[in-house]
Structures are given as structure tokens and as C-alpha cells.
């Protein structure tokens, strides 16, 4: 499916895709397109945008019946198409099942495949639209949860060294997100880079205090103390979950 160039059409398509195979009310679509301040002609304008989107779908080879009118609004039928979000959700569920069965290697690999479907933040070119931004934040949160789970699995598999560069990249993008720093400290400690591990704690503590006026979480402080004490569990991949 080729994304239409016009912002309103892209927004309409994005909202319908996120709610694929479910009816989205006319009012919800109006709120999404006009950010809660619609013109008097909003309903008529929405009909025009739906018509244009249908023509776009036909022009790009999609089935005419994909975007259907169904009370109280519209539904986009994507059952005949492969939707990245749907595939991502299916793979994260599979990873959870594999982990529950003790197949950590396969679970981590499945999450890696799921995360590879992402190419930057969700709906990045439409975040100025409040309703779309709210949807995008929900999608980004699902991605972050999957990322954290994969980091934990990789550490449980003893692959701390290979995680370090990736975690440094994540912390650079999310300087106030504690969990990647937590995993980074463990990966550094297990790689024999204790001094660097302690510097990471100092870095994130300063960032939180300077930006938010708050100390790191108790979990993060316990990790710092464990490093200072050279606690035995830090060298045991199987102990990570037990101490979380």
C-alpha cells in the first residue's frame, strides 16, 4: 500500500490502519483530522477525503471494497494484506510463548525480527495531529516493551558484550529512560568494565536530578550498590529476573 502524499489523507489512512478491520466512527475520524476543532462542513469534507482515499487505494492496486461505509463510520478491511503492526503483535505474542516454554534463544530471535519491522518512531510524519500522536505513543510503548524484553533475554543468554553498543545508542536517544541504562550497567559489569559501569550510573543520576529534580528509582539504586559490593548475582545471567 502506497501512502498518499496529502496530510489529511495520510492521517485518515493511519487511523483506519491502526483500527484495521474495525469500524471507526465518523466522529472519531473528524476529531483525528481536525484535532477536536472541526469546521461546520467537517462531515461533508470527511466524505470527500474517504472518496479520495478509495480512489488512491484503487490506483495503487488495492481492492475497491477495502474501505467500506459501515455504521457509525468506516472500516478498512486489511484481511487480505500483511500489516506490519499485526505481524509485530503476532511475533511478540509468539516470543512470550517461547519464553514461557524456556526457549529463550528462539524468543529473543523472534523479538529481534519483530523489532526489525520498525523504521523510526510510529507515524513520525503525522505526530503534530493530537489524535494521531496519542495512537503513535501507544504503538511506541509496545515497541519499547518488546525492546526491554529482548534486552533481558539477551542478558539471560549471556550475550552482554554484543548488547553494549546497541544500549549506548538507545540511551543516547532516550536519555531519561532508566531501563536501558540498567541493562547497560549490567552488560558493562559482566564485560569487566566496572569503572565505565559506575560512570553510567553517575551520568543517568545527574540527568534525572538536573532535568526532573528526582533521584533514580530504588531498583536502579540497588543495582548501583550491587556493583559497588560486587554482588554475586551480577555475574549470573539467570539471576537478572529474580532481582528486578
Domain with 96 in it = 82-157
Residues 169 and 151 in one domain: no
Instruction: Kindly report the CATH number assigned to the domain that includes residue 210.
Output: 1.25.40.10
Tell me: the pLDDT tens digits for 108-136?
999 999 999 988 777 776 677 777 778 78
Given this model, what pLDDT does residue 21 score?
87
Helix axis angle for 42-59 and 7-18, nearest 10°, is 80
pLDDT digits (tens, 9 = 90+) for 39-81: 999 999 999 999 999 998 888 776 645 889 999 999 998 876 6
Residue 1 maps to a domain? no
**What pLDDT, on a 0 to 100 scale, did the predictor assign at position 63?**
60
Does residue 104 share a domain with residue 42? no
Examine the pLDDT at 242 and tell me if it is beyond 50: no
Q: What is the CATH number of the domain that holds 46?
A: 1.10.10.10
Same domain? For 94 and 26 the reply is: no
CB 125 within 8 A of CB 16: no
* pLDDT confidence bin for 37, thresholds 50/70/90: confident
Is pLDDT above 50 for 163? yes
CA 95 – CA 72 distance, rounded (Å): 36
The model's pTM is: 0.74
Torsion of CA 31, 36, 42, 45, to 10 degrees: -50
Of 157, 178, 202, which one is at a domain's C-terminal end? 157
- pLDDT digit string (tens) for 20-35? 889 999 999 999 899 8
Amino acid at each position: 500500500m502506497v501512502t498518499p502524499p496529502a496530510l489529511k489523507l495520510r492521517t485518515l489512512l493511519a487511523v483506519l490502519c491502526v483500527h484495521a478491520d474495525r469500524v471507526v466512527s465518523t466522529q472519531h475520524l473528524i476529531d483525528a483530522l481536525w484535532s477536536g476543532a472541526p469546521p461546520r462542513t467537517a462531515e461533508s469534507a470527511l466524505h470527500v477525503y474517504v472518496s479520495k482515499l478509495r480512489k488512491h487505494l484503487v490506483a495503487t492496486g488495492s481492492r475497491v471494497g477495502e474501505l467500506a461505509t459501515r455504521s457509525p463510520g468506516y472500516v478498512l478491511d486489511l484481511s487480505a494484506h500483511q500489516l506490519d503492526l499485526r505481524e509485530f503483535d503476532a511475533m511478540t505474542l509468539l516470543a512470550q510463548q517461547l519464553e514461557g516454554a524456556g526457549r529463550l534463544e528462539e524468543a529473543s530471535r523472534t523479538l529481534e525480527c519483530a523489532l526489525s519491522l520498525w523504521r523510526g518512531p510510529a507515524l513520525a510524519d503525522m505526530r503534530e495531529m493530537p489524535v494521531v500522536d496519542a495512537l503513535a505513543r501507544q504503538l511506541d510503548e509496545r515497541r519499547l516493551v518488546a525492546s526491554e524484553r529482548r534486552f533481558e533475554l539477551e542478558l539471560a543468554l549471556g550475550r552482554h558484550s554484543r548488547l553494549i553498543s546497541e544500549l549506548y545508542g538507545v540511551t543516547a536517544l532516550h536519555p531519561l529512560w532508566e531501563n536501558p541504562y540498567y541493562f547497560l550497567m549490567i552488560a558493562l559489569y559482566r564485560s569487566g568494565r566496572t569503572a565505565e559501569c559506575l560512570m553510567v550510573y553517575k551520568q543517568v543520576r545527574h540527568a534525572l536530578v538536573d532535568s526532573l529534580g528526582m533521584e533514580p528509582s530504588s531498583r536502579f539504586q540497588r543495582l548501583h550498590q550491587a556493583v559497588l559490593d560486587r554482588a554475586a548475582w551480577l555475574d549470573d545471567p539467570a539471576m537478572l529476573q529474580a532481582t528486578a
